[in-house]
Amino acid sequence: MNSDQVQILDDHNHYRAKHGAQALRLDGNLNSSAQAWAQHLAWQDSGLPHSSGNYGENLFCCGGTAATDATHLWYNEVSMYNFHTGGYSTATGHFTALVWRGTSSLGVGIAQSGSGRTYVVAHYYPPGNHAGQFQQNVRPAQNGVAAQQNGAANNHQQSASAQLDGQKFVRSHYGAYLRAWRGPNCGPNWLVDMAPHCKECEHWHIEDHGGKVVFRAYCSPAKYLRANQDGSVDLAGHAQAWEMWTPVRNANGTWSFRSHHGTWLRAQPNGVVSLQTHAKADEQFTIGAW
């Protein structure tokens, strides 16, 4: 085992202890299966498909973040988990697999692609995330943090989306504004990018949809910000699942937005708007009224 594997194991056990779950141990067979899949993902370098096996699995990909950050980002989903009702959700599945009380063994694989991306794979045995078993296997944090969330869990996500409802601007970590506009050579098509100044085309109407939000552009007919499976972002003529975003309030007061696919809205320094597999500074936005 290497130092990154040991650090990821220690981070798992730190978080599991908060939720009354037993410490995991590294397992050689699970390490081998996780490493094999991490190398496969790095070779493909085009997404995060799951492997098949009799284990649970968490996946992580990053371009500029240390592999050892994976556990912390998986655990951050605790802010979206409803301890009152329990159950599986794509928005919290990494967290629940991480703290699942019935799991006893962990395998960790880490590989780097030719493009410089780092892939992290965690394999768990026995696997978690079994329907009907969440209440006994995913407990609130014993230090009271998650217990406090439990009391407000029914309305946590709805209140987050309600806070954003209204006419807003969306400013990135780099100070640019999310923009929907019709380029000079685009005909009827509308573009989405980041602009340095907040003008009419950077105005959005954020609509609360009971725990999720949609971004409606300031244009007619109505167009909505859409997340695509290939990692791109564009505008669609009506609000369906791909135009729904889960808002997450960050500790620094900014917001991050998780798509229907589990990826995060991202503003790049060059003005490109895309999707990322995990939330970091590029995916943090300041929302303000106009």
The CATH number of the domain holding residue 103 is: 3.40.33.10
pLDDT confidence of residue 147: 41
Closest CA to 78 of 248, 261, 209: 248
In a domain, 231, yes or no: yes
d(C-alpha 11, C-alpha 6), whole Å:
9
Do the domain assignments include residue 160? no
Rounded-to-integer distance, Cα 53 and Cα 138, Å: 22
Residues 14 and 124 in one domain: yes
| Domain range for 242 | 165-289
CATH number of the structural domain spanning residue 180 = 2.80.10.50
pLDDT at 194: 92
Tell whether 186 and 266 lie within a shared domain. yes
Is 247 within a domain?
yes
Structural domains in the chain (count): 2
b/e map 228-241, b = 16+ CB within 10 Å: eeebebbbbeebee
Chosen domain end from 133, 155, 177 = 155
Nearest to 33 by CA among 158, 125, 159, 143: 125
Are 151 and 183 in the same domain?
A: no
Phi, psi of 85 (to 5 degrees): -100, -25
Q: Taking the chain, what is the end-to-end CA distance rounded to the nearest angstrom?
A: 53
Are both 265 and 210 inside the same structural domain?
Answer: yes
Residues 68 and 190 both lie in one domain? no
Mean pLDDT by 10 residues, the chain (290 residues): 87 92 95 98 91 95 74 86 91 95 97 90 97 96 53 49 85 91 63 81 83 82 87 83 81 84 89 82 84
Q: Is the pTM higher than 0.75?
A: no
At residue 197, the pLDDT reads 76
Quick one: pLDDT at residue 30? 98
- φ, ψ at 234 (rounded to 5°): -145, -165
Q: Do 188 and 91 sit in the same domain of this protein? A: no
Rounded to whole angstroms, what are the CA distances from 18 to 99, 128, 153, 191, 254? 9, 17, 18, 45, 26
* Assigned domain for 276 exists: yes
